[in-house]
Structure 1
C-alpha cells in the first residue's frame, strides 16, 4: 500500500539510497519506484488474476501456493542474510500444507497444518546441528520462524477458504479490488497533497493525506463491487472499505519495520518496479483474514 508524502520528504528512510542522477529521476516516480515498470507488471498480474478467477477459480489455490512459496523463500533468505537462521524447508513445505489442506478440509485443515508446521520447526531448530550440539539463538530463531509461518502462509490461507465459499471468485475479486483501490488512492493523494508524514520513524513516505485518499478510493471501490459483484448490502461495502484500509496500512507498516530492522529496501527483485513477491503481499495478507471474516459473518 502506497500513501506517499511529497518529494521533499522522501529522504532519510534508513534504507539503501536510490540511484542518483538524471536517469534515476526519469525512471523513478515520486514514490521511489520505476513507475512505468510498476504499472506494466501490476497491470499484467491484475489481468491474469481476473482471468483465473472468472474462468477457473480453483486455479487460484495454485497461484496462492506458488506466490507463498516464493515469498517465504524471499523472507527466509533476507532473514538469513541478517543473521536469523530460520528453517527454510519446513517453512516452505508447511506453508504448502496450509494452502492445500484448506481445499478438502477447510479451516480445520489450515489450522492443523499450521500447528504441525510450528511443531516441526521447533524440532528442526533443536536438532539442526545434531544431538551433541546445543542450538544457538534457539528462542530468537524459533520466535521469528513462528512469525513467518503465521504472517505468510497462515494469513494467505484465508484467500483459499474465501474462494471455496459461495461466489468465492467474486469475494476474492472484491477483496483484491478493494486493496488495489486503497493503494491507488493513497499513491495519488500522497503525491498530490502529502505534507504530513504518518509514521516517519517507520515509513517516511506515508502521509495522512495519503491515508485519506486510500479511504475514499477503497470505500468507493468496495461499495461498488460489493453491490454489483456480490449483490449484497451496500453497508457491507462501506465497512469492508474502512477495515481494508486499516489492515492494509498496518500490514505495509509492519513489513516496512521488518525491512528497516534488516536494513534492506525490498524483500526481493523478482517484480520490476515492485521488488519481490512479498513486497506486493504486505497489504494483502492481513486484509485477507479481515475480508474472509467480514464475508463469513455478514454475507
Structure 2
C-alpha cells in the first residue's frame, strides 16, 4: 500500500507548533496541588478555627468532633478499596464520644472511653455474619486509635482556661513544620527521604521543617503561652519529628490501600485526613509537653 505523500513544510510546521502552556491562573506546583485553592482553603480553615476557638470553646469542640467523624468516614471509604469492613456504628459513635468525654470529664474518663469503644468495636465485628472477625476488629481498632483517640488529646489540650491559646500554639507549630518542609522541599529538594513511601519528601524539606518548627515553637510558647524559650525549642524539635512521622504513616496507609488521597473533600488538599495527618500524631506529644512544662 502506498503511503500518502507528506509535504516537508507541513511536517516542519507541526514540529514547530508550540505546546500549550499551563494556565497561569491555575498553577500546579511541583508538589502536585492547586496552589491557589490550597491557600484559599488554608485561610478559610484558619478563620474557622480562630472564630470558633475564641467565640466559645465548646463550639470548637463541636467542629473538632465533626472533623473526627468525617475523618472516620474517609478511612471507611478508603478501607473499602481493599475490602476491609470495619465496624460502622462503634467507630462513628466513638469518633464523637471520645473527644467530648475527654473535654467534659478529663483524662481518666478519656482513657475509659477509648477502652469502651474498643470493646464495642470487637463486639460489633463479632456479630456480623460471614465476616473475618479478627481482621475487621483490628481495622476498627486502628481507626479508633488513629482518629478519635488522638482528637481526644486535642480536647484535653483545649480544656484548661488558656486552652484556646494552647490549641493555637499547637496548630501554629505544626503548620510551621508543614510550610517549611513544603517550601524548602519544592525549591531545593534533591535527596528523597523515603522514596518508596513518599517520593516527594526530601531531606532538604525536612531541614526546612526543622528550622521553621524550632522558630515557631519558641515564638508560640513565649508569646502565646508565656513559657520559657527552651520549652518552645523542645516543642519544635518534637513536633518536626511527629509531624514527619504522621505524614509518612499516612502515605504508607494510602499506598497500601491504593489511593492517592483519602477523599476530595478539600479543594487543593485532597481529603481531611490528608490535612490532619501531621496534627493527629503531634497532638499527644504537644499535650504532654505543655501540660508538664507550661502549666495553666
TM-score (norm 2): 0.89
Post-superposition CA distance 1:189-222 (Å, at most 9, x none): 1011100000001000000000000011111111
| Distance (Å, rounded) in 1 between the aligned partners of 2:232 and 2:38 | 28
**1:225: how far off?**
1.3
| Distance (Å, rounded) in 1 between the aligned partners of 2:158 and 2:26 | 41
Structure scoring higher RCO (CA < 8 A, sep ≥ 6) equals 1
Post-superposition CA distance 1:106-154 (Å, at most 9, x none): 112211111111111111111112xxxxx43222221111111000000
**1:23: how far off?**
5.6
* Partner residue in 2 for 1:55: 55
| Distance (Å, rounded) in 1 between the aligned partners of 2:236 and 2:77 | 34
Q: What's the secondary structure of 2:261's corresponding residue?
A: coil
Q: Say yes or no: does 1:69 pair with 2:64.
A: no
* Partner residue in 2 for 1:90: 90
Q: What's the secondary structure of 2:201's corresponding residue?
A: strand
* Partner residue in 2 for 1:8: none
Unaligned 5+ runs, structure 1? 1-19, 130-134
TM-score (norm 1): 0.88
* Partner residue in 2 for 1:148: 143
Cα RMSD (Å) of the superposition? 1.7
CA change 1:82–1:24 in 2 (3 A) is farther
**1:54: how far off?**
2.5
Q: Say yes or no: does 1:204 pair with 2:199.
A: yes
Q: Is the 8 A contact 2:81 2:258 kept in 1?
A: no
Q: Say yes or no: does 1:258 pair with 2:253.
A: yes
Q: Is the 8 A contact 2:261 2:270 kept in 1?
A: yes
Instruction: Report matched runs for 1:28-47 at 5 Å.
Output: 28-47=28-47
CA change 1:25–1:209 in 2 (3 A) is farther
Q: Say yes or no: does 1:115 pair with 2:110.
A: no
